[in-house]
Amino acid sequence: SQKIEQNSEALNIQEGKTATLTCNYTNYSPAYLQWYRQDPGRGPVFLLLIRENEKEKRKERLKVTFDTTLKQSLFHITASQPADSATYLCALGQGAQKLVFGQGTRLTINP
Amino acid sequence: GAVVSQHPSWVICKSGTSVKIECRSLDFQATTMFWYRQFPKQSLMLMATSNEGSKATYEQGVEKDKFLINHASLTLSTLTVTSAHPEDSSFYICSARWETQYFGPGTRLLVL
């Protein structure tokens, strides 16, 4: 069955450093991969989408890589700030159909 | 753009009653909306896919007679939890598809 694993349940990073989150998947061939941010008691907020034929995507301080050979995506936040503290979810999709979500990584940026 | 709203944001009800949750895409039309449930410290679990003008497609293990979904227009889908019980208490989140999925703020349901 499809399995998506985000490397750690929780990650603590010092402010100003680069936070790197990992998303691995098995038994799946996604056409695209997305990253969302979720704050407590709120719905997920879309951050970035990367397609299977793309290696890297950037948006301001965010960078996502997608390696379909390793079946892995890395999500980087550079110059991290306490306001970046949240749970980050990766999600895989094919076409216009449903997304399959990882369990999330709770990121805390310490001042 | 791509704003999705949900109403109510939270609801408390007695066991055995029915609760309706609305999901609206405010600035775009969505032929497809999705309903998720999220338990504390867990990820989103897809309950059903809602297509405008047709019956919803439910995920395995989700009771379609208990979780009624109606997608009557391109901007509105509703989820009705019928005969709610305490184990239905959860955070319900909808999303609407426009290029990608955009999520509503969620509805917290507490069944006493």
- Ordered DSSP codes for A34-80: EEEEE-TTS--EEEEEEETT-SEEEETTEEEEEETTTTEEEEEESS-
CB B30, CB B49: distance < 8 Å? no
Total CB pairs under 8 A between chain A and B: 44
pLDDT value at A2 more than 80: no
**Would an 8 Å CB–CB cutoff place B108 in contact with chain A?**
yes
What is the C-alpha to C-alpha distance for residues A49 and A74, in angstroms, rounded to an integer?
12
Using an 8 Å CB-CB cutoff, list chain B residues near A41: 91, 106, 108
pLDDT value at A66 more than 90: yes
Average pLDDT over residues A47-53: 94
Question: pLDDT (tens digit, 9 = 90+) per residue, B6-47?
Answer: 999 999 999 999 999 999 999 999 889 999 999 988 889 999
CB A30, CB A93: distance < 8 Å? yes
Nearest to A78 by CA among A16, A14, A13: A16
Tell me the shortest Cα–Cα distance from B55 to chain A, in angstroms: 15
pLDDT value at A97 more than 80: no
- In this structure, how many other beta carbons lie within 10 angstroms of the beta carbon of residue B109? 21
pLDDT of residue B100: 85
Cβ B43–A89 below 8 Å, yes or no? yes
- In this structure, how many other beta carbons lie within 10 angstroms of the beta carbon of residue B76? 16
Using an 8 Å CB-CB cutoff, list chain B residues near A45: 103
Using an 8 Å CB-CB cutoff, list chain B residues near A100: 46
pLDDT of residue B59: 93
What is the C-alpha to C-alpha distance for residues A18 and A61, in angstroms, rounded to an integer?
9
Question: pLDDT (tens digit, 9 = 90+) per residue, B52-99?
Answer: 888 899 999 999 999 999 988 899 999 999 999 999 999 999 999 887
